[in-house]
Structure 1
Amino acid sequence: MDKKLKKFIQNATRVAPKISKKGEIFELRNGLVSQYPQTRKDAIKKTIQQMTVGKDVSSLFPDVLKNIATSDVEQKKLVYLYVMNYAESHPELCILAVNTFVSDATDPNPLIRCMAIRTMSMIRVEKILEYIEIPLRKTLQDENPYVRKTAVICVAKLFALNAELCKELGVLEDLTAALEDSNPLVVANAIAALTDIHETDPTVVPLPELIKDHISQFLLALNECTEWARATILGALADYTARDAIEAQEIIDRVTPHLQHVNAAVVLATIKVVLLNLPIIHVDTQSPIFAKIASGLVSLMSTPPEMQYVALRNMRIILEKYPAILSRELRIFYVKFNDPLYLKLEKIEILVRLVDPANLKQCTLLLSELKEYAHEYEPEFVSRAILALSQLAVKYSQIKFVSKVLDILLELFETRVEFQNDCLISMCNLLRHTGEQDEQLIKQVCLVVDAWDATDTGSPQSDYAKCNYLWLLGQFPAKFTNIESKLNPFIETFTQEESLSQMSLLITVVRLHQSISGQLLQNVLDLATHSTQDIDVRDMAIMYWRCLSLEDADDTLINELCHSVLPEIPTTLDTFSPELLETLLSELSLLSSVYFKPAAAMHRQAVRSEGKLKGKQMHELESLAQGEILKNMNEDNLLDMDTDFLSSNTTSNDTNGTALNELKDLFHLDSSQQPKSNQIEQGMNNLTLNKKNGSQSTNTQDLLDLF
């Protein structure tokens, strides 16, 4: 209530005119050159608002820039925000304010000094480097740590713009010296800047040696900095390899308290540091450190869904290296009814992986949970739950347990008609795992599948389900009736099938060539050699054809081709290669750990936007800036009548010329001079008087004159 009352009183006593909510360009321009400071400030705010929603307000650049020399820090911050936004898309316009940036870099207010050096580093034009040297050196040695932490980041931006000049200026030595700064935020920013430079050119900065020499400073600064700074320092510690087990144990002891941090990025970065140092100290899985890691991972499950997803993707990597690390935390990963679909799918992946295959009670609990998931309504979630049932049975690998899972799958096959393809795939996975150990399992599956196509539910639809269906026909032909009638639909649609289905059909027909008609075999071989675009299918068909057509063919070769048995599959879970697993462990908490791809494979070359401005002289850049302003101003003309065309253009040109002249007078100052606020106020008053006397016309006045 106090804020509302204060705002009401302020509005009631206000004299300066307000800016309308529409925020038209001509209204904003009039507000920016108003004689009232409050109106100008409101116009700047409205301009920032229009810029935020995506509207192009670059035509107001001269008018906004004239408000930068003010004692109001809030207004100056808004103007710098405007300039920083157009520093990327219109860098030539920012050239006009170079001297103002240089002057503000020596302002007594540290916030203004930061904004000035930050904006200068964002203008990706080579000529700006002639002015950034002195301000950058001063800010790197500034007495205020907030200014220093901003300046070290600007060094990395300067290096990205012109590496050779950055070396010549010697600011890289100042950046290296910032690693010994007393302020932890400066140290963290220096690490981030050096890392960025090292990734661009590893020969410029010896980053591994610098981390090695300052490892004790990093560990001391870790407890005294912000969340972002902690994640940065932990990233540097992860890149460091301890000299011996004593140093590795010290690093683990110093970073372990951060496993309970509220920020998920800090927790994941800490886990990465601990896991990379564990092989050096040679601890077993019963060590207390694993319990602390598990506690940190569990704490991530109380974060928002998006962060939980990232955490679960990282857990998949960790569980493959240390499968028993979360074996006691099964219930934490149970799916909740309000979880989004992507989180449900990832939780199932984790549940199957963290269950202990030697713990029957735990496997039984998970089996009951997955059975409940299989009766949900989301198709993709149900499909994943059905597949997880077979993965759990294969992982536990006991015949009684497999038989129990098979009973659940058979029940789902009969009750959940829309998921029969997924049930078929899961049942075939179980048969491949058990082989021919249990004849009863084979009989149950084949009996259900044999009666499948006789019902109204049809036959397999997905490509992988068709492959499993054909595999069953070829592997256990004695369990099926009228096999040829079951193969004919696949032969008729052979050209429309996927390559895996074509390959499976070819293998099945060859295996059954002694029990089916020769015409059927001939048709499949013809189709596989003449009507397919897949080279593997064609080559295999030619090989089969030659083996079967040999006059003196050995029956042993034919029997090996037709009666070969697939090896028993130990697991159906997706795994990483050893090389990829080690790479992903070293890149935990990074984007590569979410996509399961190394960072080197995801790297893209940065595209710079200063290409058209490269090599230009200062006077050429100023001409480009003036042309851009004139172009944007001319685009603001709303009407173009034939009778008023000449007068309108003349007035517009006079207006543009006046604005550019004022801008030139205002900003073409010596670098040693600083614009005064009273000069700006006088310029505003003069401009307002000129407007009242009719010496300067605006687009609004031109529009009113037509009527």
Structure 2
Amino acid sequence: MPPLDKRIKKFLQNSIRVAPRISDKGELGELRTGLVSQYPQTRKDAIKKTIQQMTLGKDVSSLFPDVLKNIATNDVEQKKLVYLYVMNYAETHPELCILVVNTFVTDAQDPNPLIRCMAIRTMSMIRVDKILEYIEIPLRKTLQDDNPYVRKTAVICVAKLFQLNKELCIELGVLEDLVSALDDSNPMVVANATAALTEISCMDPTAVSLIDLISSHFSQYLSVLNECTEWARITILTALTEYDAKDSIEAQNIVDRVTAHLQHVNPAVVLATIKVIIKNLNLIQPQANDIVIMKKLSSAMVSLMSTPPEMQYVALKNIRIILEKFPELLTKELRIFFIKFNDPLYVKLEKIEILVRLVDPSNLKQCSLLLSELKEYTMEFEPEFVSRSIIALSQLGIKYSEENFISKVLDILLELAENQEIYMDDCCVSMCNLLRNCPDNELMITNVCSLLNSWSDPEAVLQRDDAKCNYMWLMGQYPDKFPSMKSKVAAFVHNFSEEEPLTQMSILLTVVRLHNRLEGSLLQKILELATTDTHEIDVRDMAMMYWRCLSMPNADKLIEQICQSMPPKIENTLDKFSPEVLEKLLLELSTISSIYFKPISENKKQYSLRQKVVKGKHLDELKDLAKSEIAQNANEDVLLDFDNDDDDANNLMKGNGSSNLLEELDDLFNFGSGSTNENKEEEEEDTSLKDPMQNLKLNGSGSSNTGGEPTASSNTQDLLNLF
């Protein structure tokens, strides 16, 4: 152990922070000065400031060689910052990353497992073909590493390598190592290997047989499920969803093993577990324990309602899909989904969708309870929320389908339409839907028609297309209830060309039905407008059909049959999924498909490789590109430069008593390529013979490429120590 005074001196040296000298080049010059300081803590602070500027979106790529000098350190935090800098500019300046290849290879063999992980992770993210060629040895060693933390990182790097260069990944044979990682003793390695294989299968289904691998390892998945982290459990549960059980016994075994995760605190784990259970419920024979499973599913969904609003929204979207398959699953949990005063609007709207579907149509007490709740919602101040509540009232009345109950719903809507003009559209649509469910109730028809007839200018009061369409249908269906029917129809016909398609079709149908009660010129006018002044094919076809019917010999009898026809009774106004779509959505719970209700199983997401990979470049050309990039950035004022003096840039490149910056960079490229200067000269001659324009481009890039590899200067020992 060194003497106490030496230890104190070393401690003070590492702890001193020296403010960099303020240069004329602005903040960029200050950062460069701090990065080459003799004090370790000052250099570390300069790296942090560089990362700060980088995260703000400022280009600090010209500091690449100065930041790179600080990569050889035992400080894990500092090395992590430098790696973060390198990863960021691997996207925008991939040619600069060839400076650190040898460092990556060295750090991949470091005794510290954290450094080994950072090295292989960063190396797999650099999108340069020539650098990826050096990843074979480090990746194979880390895949077989003694530390499970290193192995779980390495298996993810295989998927990154496959995304960057599929041919190289197959050629190196690391896919076989990835498949063998499924038999690893560490649960995290198994989960990461499964995630990597899933990503590879999405990019190229022919690369690996994912279904076969899951089928051969599903028992291992079940055994390690309880020992995994939350993310790993989600990965394994998603993989189990892809597995088809052979019989009911195996399906029952899977359900029993994963049911315990319904009580997990993470909502994503709960939804993934529900997906696995629903997948295997169809294979289980109807038994008494089905009721127990349903109760556990119900309890798990109720627990999701105690999560933050953002998670509640996702949970409600998934519950909406599940209720389509099992409508009686949450019938007894109606109060849980009642809207709270502090719920955001998007949660309120989704809860209303769930409430109407939860209610039991045979339970009058429950329907009355929800009716009172929805009536309270119509008194809120959010227009979109009130509009959705009005539609829910009509949906509830039609779902219960009993005239006395529908009369109560209609009374609420009539009162609301009379007092709140802003909601006339929604009330008009809802009341017409209720009348189509009870077409023989004279009292209800009279009350609705009386209210709608009291509106002086319905074509101006109503704004939405569906509301105007229902209003016109009501006048055509019950013309005796509208004393001022002729003037109202004439006003709609006058604005026919300005109306939307649904309203145009309803106007046409109403005028044809009432042609005996209206002026003869009105029918001629509407047929001409519908065939000449509209771009809607359906409206034109309907007008042509009516015109031909009217021109036939027995037109009066035919039109009378058309006019006396009654629309079908509405049995349900709730949106439903088709059976095919429903089955696909049940297998895609807790994904983006469950939010948009659009399955993506038939259209697998295509992973396009990023176009920033530098392909077809020779190593010498990459060197010249890197030096040209640094030289160009060194002459530019990037950060807060308020001085236009060009002498500082020239002094920076020339250096008073110091070696040239480009000469210092030359040694950074010597990372063990094994080729001599003579061989490089021959390669350059061959390249110039094969592609003269490429050689011309290299010679014009500002780099020295005339006589082989430049030699390193004597003042680059600080850079040589890095390698």
Q: Please give the TM-score of this superposition, normalised by the length of structure 2.
A: 0.88
Residue 58 of structure 1 contacts residue 632 of structure 1 at CA under 8 Å; is this kept in 2? yes
Offset of residue 650 of structure 1 = 3.3
2:129 matched to which residue of 1? 126
- CA distance in 2 between counterparts of 1:578 and 1:21 reads 71
- Greater shift in the superposed pair: 11-20 or 362-371: 11-20
Q: Could you say what secondary structure the match of 1:608 adopts?
A: coil
Change (3 A) 1:649 1:64: closer
- Greater shift in the superposed pair: 142-151 or 63-72: 63-72
2:420 matched to which residue of 1? 416
Change (3 A) 1:82 1:316: same
1:340 matched to which residue of 2? 344
- CA distance in 2 between counterparts of 1:260 and 1:681 reads 61
Offset of residue 276 of structure 1 = 0.5
Structure 2 residue identity aligned to 1:38 = Q
Identity of aligned residues (%): 64
- CA distance in 1 between counterparts of 2:108 and 2:659 reads 30
2:707 matched to which residue of 1? none
In the alignment, structure 1 residue 426 sits paired with structure 2 residue 430: yes
Show the 5 A alignment for 1:188-587: 188-283=191-286, 287-436=291-440, 438-453=441-456, 459-550=461-552, 552-587=553-588
Change (3 A) 1:458 1:498: closer
Offset of residue 608 of structure 1 = 3.1
Offset of residue 314 of structure 1 = 0.5
2:677 matched to which residue of 1? none
Offset of residue 20 of structure 1 = 10
2:610 matched to which residue of 1? 609
- CA distance in 2 between counterparts of 1:106 and 1:31 reads 30
In the alignment, structure 1 residue 69 sits paired with structure 2 residue 69: no
Show the 5 A alignment for 1:159-198: 159-198=162-201
- CA distance in 1 between counterparts of 2:621 and 2:673 reads 20
- CA distance in 1 between counterparts of 2:716 and 2:630 reads 23
- CA distance in 1 between counterparts of 2:340 and 2:239 reads 37
Q: Could you say what secondary structure the match of 1:330 adopts?
A: helix
- CA distance in 2 between counterparts of 1:155 and 1:13 reads 39
Residue 16 of structure 2 contacts residue 41 of structure 2 at CA under 8 Å; is this kept in 1? no
Residue 98 of structure 2 contacts residue 669 of structure 2 at CA under 8 Å; is this kept in 1? no
Structure 2 residue identity aligned to 1:625 = A
Offset of residue 214 of structure 1 = 0.8
Offset of residue 652 of structure 1 = 4.1
- CA distance in 1 between counterparts of 2:202 and 2:614 reads 26
5+ residue gaps, structure 1? 1-9, 673-678, 687-707
- CA distance in 2 between counterparts of 1:680 and 1:70 reads 21
Offset of residue 651 of structure 1 = 2.5
Residue 15 of structure 2 contacts residue 41 of structure 2 at CA under 8 Å; is this kept in 1? no
Change (3 A) 1:259 1:20: farther
Offset of residue 640 of structure 1 = 7.7
RMSD between aligned alpha carbons?
2.7
Change (3 A) 1:148 1:681: farther
Offset of residue 357 of structure 1 = 0.9
- CA distance in 2 between counterparts of 1:462 and 1:177 reads 61
> Alpha-carbon deviations, 1:585-623, whole Å to 9, x = none?
000011111111112477554343345611111111222
Change (3 A) 1:373 1:601: farther
1:683 matched to which residue of 2? 718
Residue 309 of structure 2 contacts residue 347 of structure 2 at CA under 8 Å; is this kept in 1? yes
Structure 2 residue identity aligned to 1:117 = I
> Alpha-carbon deviations, 1:329-369, whole Å to 9, x = none?
11111111111111110110011111111111111111111
1:695 matched to which residue of 2? none
Structure 2 residue identity aligned to 1:498 = E
> Alpha-carbon deviations, 1:135-187, whole Å to 9, x = none?
11000000000000011011111111222222221111110110010100000
- CA distance in 2 between counterparts of 1:336 and 1:128 reads 57
Structure 1 residue identity aligned to 2:361 = P
Equivalenced residue count is 666
1:650 matched to which residue of 2? 650
Structure 2 residue identity aligned to 1:468 = N
Residue 33 of structure 1 contacts residue 684 of structure 1 at CA under 8 Å; is this kept in 2? no
In the alignment, structure 1 residue 150 sits paired with structure 2 residue 185: no
1:668 matched to which residue of 2? 670
Offset of residue 435 of structure 1 = 2.3
- CA distance in 2 between counterparts of 1:640 and 1:55 reads 18
1:691 matched to which residue of 2? none
Change (3 A) 1:612 1:191: closer
Offset of residue 102 of structure 1 = 0.8
Structure 1 residue identity aligned to 2:632 = K
Residue 433 of structure 1 contacts residue 569 of structure 1 at CA under 8 Å; is this kept in 2? yes
For residue 32 of structure 1, the aligned residue among 35, 41, 45 is: 35
- CA distance in 1 between counterparts of 2:14 and 2:214 reads 59
Residue 549 of structure 2 contacts residue 555 of structure 2 at CA under 8 Å; is this kept in 1? no
- CA distance in 2 between counterparts of 1:542 and 1:179 reads 68
Offset of residue 328 of structure 1 = 0.9
Residue 102 of structure 1 contacts residue 671 of structure 1 at CA under 8 Å; is this kept in 2? no
Offset of residue 626 of structure 1 = 2.0
Offset of residue 563 of structure 1 = 1.9
> Alpha-carbon deviations, 1:372-414, whole Å to 9, x = none?
0001000000000000000001111111111111111111111
Residue 34 of structure 1 contacts residue 684 of structure 1 at CA under 8 Å; is this kept in 2? no
Residue 270 of structure 2 contacts residue 300 of structure 2 at CA under 8 Å; is this kept in 1? yes
Offset of residue 663 of structure 1 = 3.5
- CA distance in 2 between counterparts of 1:361 and 1:412 reads 24
Structure 2 residue identity aligned to 1:658 = N
1:630 matched to which residue of 2? 631
> Alpha-carbon deviations, 1:621-650, whole Å to 9, x = none?
222222222222222274786xx65x4553
> Alpha-carbon deviations, 1:30-76, whole Å to 9, x = none?
11111110000001111112222222222221111111111111110
Offset of residue 271 of structure 1 = 0.3
Structure 1 residue identity aligned to 2:436 = R
- CA distance in 2 between counterparts of 1:454 and 1:163 reads 68
- CA distance in 1 between counterparts of 2:293 and 2:603 reads 32
Offset of residue 685 of structure 1 = 13
1:7 matched to which residue of 2? none
1:676 matched to which residue of 2? none
Residue 66 of structure 1 contacts residue 666 of structure 1 at CA under 8 Å; is this kept in 2? no
- CA distance in 2 between counterparts of 1:603 and 1:635 reads 45
2:97 matched to which residue of 1? 94
Change (3 A) 1:264 1:680: farther
Residue 248 of structure 1 contacts residue 281 of structure 1 at CA under 8 Å; is this kept in 2? yes
Offset of residue 561 of structure 1 = 2.0
Q: Could you say what secondary structure the match of 1:251 adopts?
A: helix
- Greater shift in the superposed pair: 222-231 or 54-63: 54-63
- CA distance in 2 between counterparts of 1:263 and 1:54 reads 34
Residue 259 of structure 1 contacts residue 292 of structure 1 at CA under 8 Å; is this kept in 2? yes
Residue 143 of structure 2 contacts residue 151 of structure 2 at CA under 8 Å; is this kept in 1? yes
- CA distance in 1 between counterparts of 2:259 and 2:377 reads 36
> Alpha-carbon deviations, 1:95-128, whole Å to 9, x = none?
2111111111111111111011111110122222
Residue 667 of structure 2 contacts residue 720 of structure 2 at CA under 8 Å; is this kept in 1? no
